[in-house]
Amino acid sequence: MRKAAAAPPSETSQRVGETLSVTSPVRPRALVVGFVGIVVLCVIVSAGELIAKNIQIGMMQLAPALVGVLFVLVAGNQLLGWLLPRWKLTPAELAVAFVLMIPAPMITSRGLMERWLPLLVGVNYYAPGNRWDVLFFPHIPAQLVPWDPAKGARQDVAVWFYERLPGGVALPWAQWLVPLLVWLILILAVYAAFFCMTVILRKHWVEGEKLSFPLVQLPLEMMLQPQTFLRNKLMWAGFVFSFGLFLVNGLHQWIPTVPEVPLMIQLNPFFTERPWNQVSYWAIWISPAAIGFFYLMPTDLLFSFWFFYLLGKVQEAMAGAYSENIPFEHATFGAHVAYQGAGAFFMLAILTLYSARHHLRHVWRRAIGAVPPDEAEKREMFSYRVAVWGLVVSLLVILLWARYFGMTWQVALFHFGVYLFVQAIIMARCTAEGGLLITEGCFTPMDIYTFGERQMLGARQLTLLSFLDGMHTRDLRGMLLTGLLDAQKVTEQARLRARRVLWLLVGGVLFAILVALVIQMWLPYKYGAMNLYSYVYSGASIQFFRENAPFMGTVPTHREYPNGPLFTLIGALVCALLSYFRWRISGFPLHPLGYAMAPSWGIVVFWFSMLVAWLIKLPIVHYGGMRTFRLLRPFFLGLIFGEFLAACMWSLIAWFWQLPTPTFPWP
């Protein structure tokens, strides 16, 4: 693949050397601030997503909660500098606290906790009436769940989770202990693989392809140039517009006479005639923060995202003119469009690794000792030898775990191979190059392995996959790999020692798991999961049991998606063709990443914000040049900052007073 066209460098990147000319010292107080921030983030994310239900404040790749906490930290630090100068944190210390906090909202939200805990009890609670106790329970290993698969449905540990604890009954930690520890083996092995992949990929993406990492530009601006950032009038203009919008919409929830600004318009009701009534879910979501982020995105990639999304809708309409579109369970598009996206994912992963082949060869030679380590390798979190063999060991632990609980070697290798080396890499690429706020795919590995003939896997494997798909491969929001790569970018810009940052990140991950686990175990047993966010507890937690139930019997089933292989191949070929044109034709406007991501939920939500950002940015760059682009940049950072801080404020209101809150445009 051709090197990515980097977005215009931020003023922060250009001036960072003026702020931190050498590797910066860090005092222990920065660690204290970071760990306290983790606790605050776990509380805010749980409040916004589970109690308020309509503020998804942690599942994005740069969580609004993280930006809000960082603002309070930066503003408080400036005030501290006036009152007690010796206690003021340096920019490097702010960066340390920020790096510590990066994993927390991801782990608290879709990245782990909101999928992990409900998954282990949902199948037991919802089993009556659908024969899941007959279909699945005999194949569920007792070590994986906090209830006894031999004792039937609706056991106390599950009922209390969904309907709250009876008075005087203690939270049943003893029943949860073994399954939590068993699952932690798999979770930590996957996270270890992500750490190793971060070290292997970082140099090529940061120094070779010079990807811009748009998501960290706002935090870097706040940390490394706080006075410049806080005194910029354009930034505050963007902030007032964005924050004021959600203040008004929030007041509307309390005082109906206050007008509400609609931020979502569903388009399907406007298209009632064939073939347009065959188009799947289609809506306009308006997010000032998303427009702000996409202003920083390379123009060709920005165009490609919304263009290929609309092209997918045209494909659905064309197919709908002749037949009924076959819906696809794992994308909000018809199956023929979703499978094109899957094929593009595979091809793009292959091309991404191929473009890094020289670097990967260099890494391999270091790993086997053919070439001694050099000075540049010391800028990584750990050596290439540790990264390569650590990745091998992590993958081996993952496969052994899956094999022990009933997967065949080939299914386990395909499932986790696709998750780690296709889905995870493309999601990381989306944030590093494109700044996508929501990383989401349009398929699971088994969609490709079986093309709908799931019965070939057998009842035992389908049961385990009902857990694993719910844990990892379906909802890719909050994926830790993207956060680790962003943390490495912050490390570079803030002149921190990468080897020390490794232990910060490891500590931040482990502490976030502990804090989020305690909070999200307490919440459902206190309030009842039925009274919390339904998507987490009654949707995603049982999705794959519901999908796989028809295939658990002995009666042969037909292929659900007979043209799946054809459209997967078409998607791969189109992606390869787009990559070839970008390599051969200078300025070719269509990006293969836009084609691959078009059927994904992130584009479904943000396509209109992308279109608006493109319509704003194109004339600015064309007529005003890069000088005007940089001049207006603080306004768009203010849009991000205002919306995200408003989300934090309303989440805390929901936590402490259980009052209604406005809906934020990140479903």
**Residue written as tokens 């890719």?**
476
**CA-CA distance, 520 to 316, in Å (whole number)?**
40
Residue 161 predicted with pLDDT over 50:
yes
Indicate the domain borders of the chain: 11-657
pLDDT in the model for residue 656: 85
Is 613 within 8 Å of 294 (Cβ atoms)?
yes
Report the Cα 263 to chain-centroid distance in Å: 22
Give percent above pLDDT 90 in the chain: 70
Q: What is the DSSP string of 46-112?
A: HIIIIIISS---SSSSS-HHHHHHHHHHHHHHHHHHHH-GGGPPPHHHHHHHHHHHTHHHHHHTTTT
Distance CA 135, CA 79 (A): 61
The pLDDT assigned to 15 comes to: 47
Q: What is the DSSP letter of 216?
A: G
The predicted pLDDT at position 11 comes to 47
Distance, CA of 178 to CA of 176 (rounded, Å): 6
Q: Residue 659 is encoded by which pair of tokens?
A: 């009052």
**Does residue 26 register a pLDDT over 60?**
yes
The per-residue pLDDT for range 540-571, each reduced to its tens digit, is 999 999 999 988 876 655 657 788 899 999 99
Distance, in Å, from the CA atom of 645 to the CA atom of 642, rounded to the nearest integer, reads 5
Tell how far CA 415 is from the center of its chain.
Answer: 19
pLDDT of residue 376: 74
Give 654's pLDDT tier (boundaries 50, 70, 90). Answer: confident
CA atoms of 249 and 664, how far apart (whole Å): 10
| Contact assessment for residue 660 and residue 253, using Cβ atoms and an 8 Å cutoff | yes
3-class SS at 225? coil
pLDDT at 555: 61
d(CA 593, CA 597): 6
| φ, ψ (nearest 5 deg) of residue 168 | 85, 0
pLDDT per residue over 475-528, tens digit each? 889 999 999 999 999 999 988 888 989 999 999 999 999 999 999 999 999 999
Q: Is the pLDDT of residue 35 over 90?
A: yes
Quick one: pLDDT at residue 374? 76
Q: Is the pTM of this model over 0.95?
A: no
pLDDT confidence band for 24 (50 / 70 / 90): low
pLDDT digits (tens, 9 = 90+) for 239-261: 999 999 999 999 999 999 999 99
Residue 643 above 60 pLDDT? yes
Lowest mean per-residue pLDDT among 159-168, 374-383, 590-599: 374-383
Residues contacting 580, CB < 8 A, separation 6+: none
Most confident of 63-67, 129-133, 461-465, 550-554: 461-465
pLDDT exceeds cutoff 80 at 171: yes
Between CA 322 and CA 327 the distance in angstroms is 15
Calpha distance 239→636 (Å, rounded) = 9
* Helix, strand or coil, per DSSP, at residue 260: coil
> Quick check: helix, strand or coil at residue 305?
helix
If you average pLDDT over every residue of the chain, what do you get?
A: 91
CA count, 13 A, side-chain hemisphere, 541? 26
**pLDDT the model gives residue 9:** 45
Q: Can you tell me the mean pLDDT for 416-431?
A: 95
Work out the pLDDT band at 110, boundaries 50, 70, 90. Answer: very high
Q: Own/partner pairs for 14-22, CB < 8 Å, 24+ apart? A: 15/224, 15/225, 16/220, 16/224, 16/493, 16/494, 16/495, 19/91, 19/224, 19/225, 20/91, 20/92, 20/224, 20/494, 20/495, 21/495, 22/495
Averaged pLDDT for residues 38-49: 94
**pLDDT number for residue 563:** 87
The string of pLDDT tens digits covering residues 606-624 is 999 999 999 999 999 999 9
Work out the percent of the chain whose per-residue pLDDT is above 70.
Answer: 95
- Give phi and psi for 272, each to the nearest 5: -105, -10
Maximal CA-CA distance, the chain:
75
Average pLDDT over residues 14-18: 45
Write the CB contacts of 539 (distance below 8 Å, at least 6 apart in sequence). none
What's the mean pLDDT in 619-639? 94
pLDDT of residue 54: 81
